Every structure is written in structure tokens, then in C-alpha cells.
Amino acid sequence: MKFKMFAAAGLLAASSIVSAQSVSLGFAQRDLDSGAKEHQNSISVKTKAYGSFTGDVGLSATQNDATNAITNRYELGATYTQPLTSSLSADMRVAQGWKAKSGSETTTYYVIEPSVTAKIIGTPFSVKAGYRVRNAWESNVADNSTTSRLALGYNFTAKDRISLGRDWQRGDGAVTQTSLQYTRSF
């Protein structure tokens, strides 16, 4: 089952690249409140859907540094973006996700993620602040959390961007995460 889900998500992501608006690659170091450490690799593809709406497909693989247990997450999402001023915009993302953890059944969850991005006028920098609610659909699954996010972005060309981010996740699987992400726009 996990292989089929991974293959299907991989094919969807690969086919999305053909019509992609952007592709992002990420790496994160995660410090769990329990004291354990993890690292995460991710890829997401975003494409314009209609008007101010974009669609995205994301895959992430997280490995526990001590146990080598792997958790894969697959998400299909939609984002609405509203410019507020010439340098400020607001986003609202909703997504359906699947979590496949080593030795466990695949579970499903939903994500609601509002954020605000401010461009620092006269520079290639921007700051993004966001909040994520992630809850399992099944009442017996412990995958409910809230995350505060802050990221500093730098556009080193018109199509290339790097971001350094920090997440503070509370709830099930509480973690503090530092991430580095590269995005190529088309």
C-alpha cells in the first residue's frame, strides 16, 4: 500500500512539473521536544489553477536520527493569495494529506494554513509569517498539531529564491524545526 501511494504521488508530482509555476526543494533539521533529532527532505510543485488560486503537490520524508524510522507525508493543496498592498500579501492554504510511518497504517489529515508575506522594499528580501493547523481525520490517530512559522526569503534572481525558516510545532509530535528551501519559478 505504501509503495503504491508513494508511486502515485511521485507520478502526480512528476506530471505536475510539466505545467509547474514553481518547484521547491527543502531540507530541515528537526529537534523533537522528547530530545530526539530528525532530518527531513521535501519537494513541492505549485501551479496556477484559476485567478488567485494555485494548486500544489508536496512530498516529504523525515528520518529519526536515532531509530532510522521514516515518516513520509504526501499533500495535495490549494492556496488563495490576496495582495493587500504593493509589498504585503496574505495567503490561505488548505490541503489533504496522507501520513505513512514505518510499521504503521497510512493515516489521513487536513491542513489549514494562513500566512502573510511582506517584501522588504528596495531589497530582494521578504519575510513570511504563518500558522498551520494539522488534524487527523480519524479520532483515534494522534496527529493533531499547531505550528507557528517564520521565514526570511532572498530572491537572488527573478526566478530563483532561497528561504531560511523556523517552525515551532505544538501538540502531537511537538518539534522545533530549522529549514532551508530553494525555489525555482518558471
pLDDT at 46: 96
Residue 4 has pLDDT above 80, yes or no: no
pLDDT at 7: 52
Q: What is the pLDDT of residues 92-147, one digit of tens each?
A: 999 999 999 988 899 999 999 999 999 999 999 999 999 999 999 999 999 999 99
Short-list 111, 154, 146, 114, CA closest to 130 = 114
pLDDT at 20: 78
Handedness of CA 39, 43, 49, 51 (dihedral sign): positive
Residue range(s) defining the domain that contains residue 51: 2-185
Which CATH number does the domain housing residue 51 bear? 2.40.160.40
With a pLDDT cut of 70, the percent of the chain lying above it is: 90
Residue 89 has pLDDT above 70, yes or no: yes
Provide the 3-class DSSP secondary structure of residue 33: coil
Q: What is the pLDDT of residues 151-180, one digit of tens each?
A: 999 999 999 999 999 999 999 989 999 999
Q: Is 132 left (phi over 0), alpha (psi -120 to 50) or beta?
A: beta
What's the mean pLDDT when you consider all of the chain?
Answer: 92
pLDDT at 9: 54
Domains held by the chain: number: 1
Output 52-58 pairs: Cβ under 8 A, ≥24 positions apart.
Answer: 52/80, 52/81, 52/82, 53/78, 53/79, 53/80, 54/21, 54/78, 54/79, 54/81, 55/79, 56/93, 56/95, 57/9, 57/12, 57/13, 57/16, 58/95
